[in-house]
Amino acid sequence: MSSLNYHQKTARYCLKKQEQGVAVPHLPVSGELKSDTQSDSKSHSFACEWCCKAFTRKFTLQRHEKTCEEKKLHIDNQIKHNLARVDLENKEWARKYGSLQSEIEKLTSDNSRLGNQLAEAKAALTKVQHELELMKMATSTSVVSNSTSSHSSKRSKARRSKARDGGNIDCYSSLGSCRGGDRKSKRDILLPFDLTLDFLAKEAEEKFTAQHFASGQEGVAKFVLPYLKHESGKVLYVCSDRKNLNFRYIDMKGDEEKQDPECTILARLAFQAIKAKANLIFVSQQESIEDEEESNKLAQIYSKIKAMKEQSTKAFASRLSKDLYVS
């Protein structure tokens, strides 16, 4: 007897319903029961999705799935597949990274090389600009130089004529002096001089002081003066005419005498050398001055120093002529 039949014949609720005339469901015979039981069992079976094994209870299926070998094998294969894919992707990224590193190194090398070439080009350009500036200044002063040379030549001829007539008198030389014909050669007085003064900017950073600045162009002249004399006692740059403030020097080749009226070229180059330090001193002192009159006075001093680049160099030349004049 099935559990249902047994329940219908023994349960109080079912017996009471039967007494009230409620129809009792058809109770199959044993053969029919067996058939229905088998059919019900088949319709309510649970199959494992990994190994396809069937179970009548879901609980049994869930317990089986925890230890199913097919499921474990499937999961292991999936993990291996994922690991292989990740390893392949890592190798591909490593290859791309190596390629990018090589490209970066190449670009860095090219950038360094181009930077060096640019620095060399800038240095060459600066040198050419400097030479052009010297040529421009030399051209601008050539008229004055020729006029001064002509005047000196006429005066020398007149003095030589007087010497022939009057005997032992002073005779003037642009680079020295003589007494009764004892004339010095320019090579006895001057040494070849590089007027570019490329080294002076570095010297100015350490040695151009606020005291130099306060004296204006004369202070700049005092700063430059030591670099115009040689340790041997000879000079590199001389004043040959204090009245007209004409200066002379020998070029680096040692075979050409050049003129620099009123120190026009030297003053401009000296200003280029000291302008960074002079500007630093000016700004520093301006910040500490509260009195407007003192501030204006300081600005006037700086203005006169900057005028050196505009060929207004008389104060600069006058100060140098005191120490560099050859009588």
Over range 270-290, report the average pLDDT: 89
- Beta-strand relationship, 54-55 and 46-47: antiparallel
Lowest-pLDDT range of 33-42, 210-219, 245-254, 309-318:
33-42
Instruction: Kindly state the tokens that stand for 115.
Output: 């930077």
Question: How high is the pLDDT of residue 185?
Answer: 46
Q: What tokens does 296 get?
A: 């204006």
Look at the block and give the residue holding tokens 């360094």: 112
Q: How confident is the model at residue 24 (pLDDT cuts 50, 70, 90)?
A: low
pTM score above 0.75? no
Q: Is the pLDDT reported for residue 136 higher than 70?
A: no
Between 164 and 15, residue with greater pLDDT: 15
Predicted confidence band at 82 (pLDDT cuts at 50, 70, 90)?
very high
Mean pLDDT of 219-247: 85
Instruction: Inform me whether the pLDDT recorded for 83 exceeds 90.
Output: yes
pLDDT of residue 4: 76
CA–CA separation, 182 and 165 (whole Å): 17
CA 313 to chain centroid:
37
What DSSP assignment string belongs to 4-54? HHHHHHH-HHHHHHHHTTPPPPP---HHHHHHHHHHHHHHT-EE-TTT--E
C-alpha of 59 from chain center: 75
Q: Higher confidence at residue 308 or residue 189?
A: 308
Lowest mean pLDDT among 24-38, 50-64, 90-104: 24-38
pLDDT value at 35 more than 80: no
Nearest-angstrom CA–CA distance, 191 and 185: 12
Per-residue model confidence (pLDDT) at position 212: 92
DSSP label at residue 183: P
pLDDT bucket at 75, cuts 50 / 70 / 90: confident
- Strands 246-250 and 238-241: what pairing? antiparallel
In the chain, the N- to C-terminal Cα span, in Å, equals: 153
pLDDT per residue as tens digits for the range 229-240: 877 777 788 888
Neighbours of 100 (CB within 10 A): 10
Show Cβ contacts of residue 152 under 8 Å, excluding neighbours closer than 6 positions: 174, 240, 241
Nearest to 203 by CA among 230, 218, 223, 225: 223
Lowest mean pLDDT among 14-23, 135-144, 220-229: 135-144
Using alpha carbons, list the distances in angstroms from residue 92 to 81, 95, 97, 144: 17, 5, 9, 78
Confidence of residue 178 (pLDDT cuts 50, 70, 90): very low
Residues near 164 by beta carbon (within 8 Å), at least 6 away in sequence: none
Span 296-304, average pLDDT? 90
pLDDT value of residue 23: 56
**Residue 36 above 70 pLDDT?**
no
pLDDT reported for residue 173: 34
Inter-residue contact 186 to 257 (CB < 8 Å):
yes
More confident residue, 261 or 162: 261
**pLDDT band, very low/low/confident/very high, at 160 (cuts 50, 70, 90):** low
